[in-house]
Structure 1
Amino acid sequence: MSNTLGQQTPVKIHVTTNIYNGSNKESIEWVGFGQYLEKDGSSYVKYEEVIEEGTIKTIVKIAEHEGLILRSGAVKMRLSFLLNKKRNGSYETPYGTFLMVTDTKRLSFEKEAESLYGLIDILYDLNVNGNNNGTYHMTIQLKEEKEQA
């Protein structure tokens, strides 16, 4: 089911991130629209968020046992995921760049063959500048957006 042309499909995106740090739990949700495409054996989700500080462009890349989240614009961040391995990433702020290390526990992308409905599931421990920042469970739900006539 590889699309070598990299044709983009409009999708509705629902991102949920649960952050567990000791007995504390924080949940962050975002719902919006973006694009989905497959290219060279990887799946890509692209979307933009508008926040007070400006626009954040996000690209999520998922392959068989690895993933990548790139954010640019008002937020500059690179998170890399490799199942059962630690990977280095970064988060840029006006005050400097922070080293981020992900330790990926679960990484999957389930997609229905006949329609574009999918779920990206990433569970990872996050370490920022040598400090444990908690366990993150991120899900990205995709649903194909049919164009309105």
Structure 2
Amino acid sequence: MSNSPAEQTPVKIKVKTDIRSGGSKETFELTAFGRYYKKNGSRFLQYDEENEAGTVKTIVKMAEGEALILRSGAVKMRLPFRLNKKMRGSYEMPFGTMEMLTLTKGLSQSFDDGSGTGAFDLLYEMKMQGSQAGTYHLAITFEEEEK
């Protein structure tokens, strides 16, 4: 039996991340093509991203009031989110694993399965190894690829 979900929709994904740290703000934007699917009551986005270290496979799991971002390949990261809760995550690097702590301030999601579109919005504070890394605003939108 295959453990790949039965129905995957090819989608175009736009990811925008705003990071506020100290007095500065950085913005990163990415457009990728990937897959959207539902499994066990959760919704998933899966896409690959190329960077200087190589290919990074990203999975975003979205459920009511919580989310999980998994990255594997050139980067290994696990970041869990639960609204108004502190959650422990990890970021693996060649010299060791860094502990990450997220405090989710805002989490919203909307999906229109009829049109194959959706949006996921996440606002969180993050600490790495106990030090404040900043406030992150992650906005993901996706739409079914044109056939």
TM-score (norm 2): 0.94
Which residue pairs with 1:98 in the alignment?
98
Which residue pairs with 1:13 in the alignment?
13
Which residue pairs with 1:78 in the alignment?
78
* % same residue: 52
Which residue pairs with 1:114 in the alignment?
114
Which residue pairs with 2:139 in the alignment?
139
Write the deviation string for residues 76-100 of structure 1: whole angstroms up to 9, x where unpaired: 0000000000000000111111000
Per the TM alignment, residue 134 of structure 1 is displaced from its structure 2 partner at its CA by 0.6
Q: Distance in 1 between matches of 2:91 and 2:113?
A: 35
Pairing 1:40–2:49 present: no
Per the TM alignment, residue 114 of structure 1 is displaced from its structure 2 partner at its CA by 2.2
Q: Distance in 2 between matches of 1:90 and 1:112?
A: 32
Task: Name the stretch that deviates more: 79-88 or 50-59.
Answer: 50-59
Per the TM alignment, residue 117 of structure 1 is displaced from its structure 2 partner at its CA by 1.2
Give the letter for the 2:72 counterpart: S
Give the letter for the 1:61 counterpart: K
Q: Distance in 2 between matches of 1:87 and 1:112?
A: 29
Ranges in structure 2 where 5+ consecutive residues have no aligned partner:
none
Q: 3-state DSSP class of the match of 1:57?
A: strand
Write the deviation string for residues 36-92 of structure 1: whole angstroms up to 9, x where unpaired: 001111000000011221110000000001100000000000000000000000001
Give the letter for the 2:91 counterpart: Y
Per the TM alignment, residue 6 of structure 1 is displaced from its structure 2 partner at its CA by 3.9
Q: Distance in 2 between matches of 1:41 and 1:145?
A: 23
Pairing 1:125–2:143 present: no
Per the TM alignment, residue 113 of structure 1 is displaced from its structure 2 partner at its CA by 4.3
Q: Which runs of 4+ in 1 moved over 4 A?
A: none
Q: Distance in 2 between matches of 1:139 and 1:65?
A: 16
Pairing 1:28–2:31 present: no
Q: Indicate the RMSD between aligned Cα atoms, in angstroms.
A: 1.0
- Aligned residues between the structures: 143
Q: Distance in 1 between matches of 2:57 and 2:112?
A: 26
Ranges in structure 1 where 5+ consecutive residues have no aligned partner:
none
Q: Distance in 2 between matches of 1:6 and 1:30?
A: 27
TM-score (norm 1): 0.93
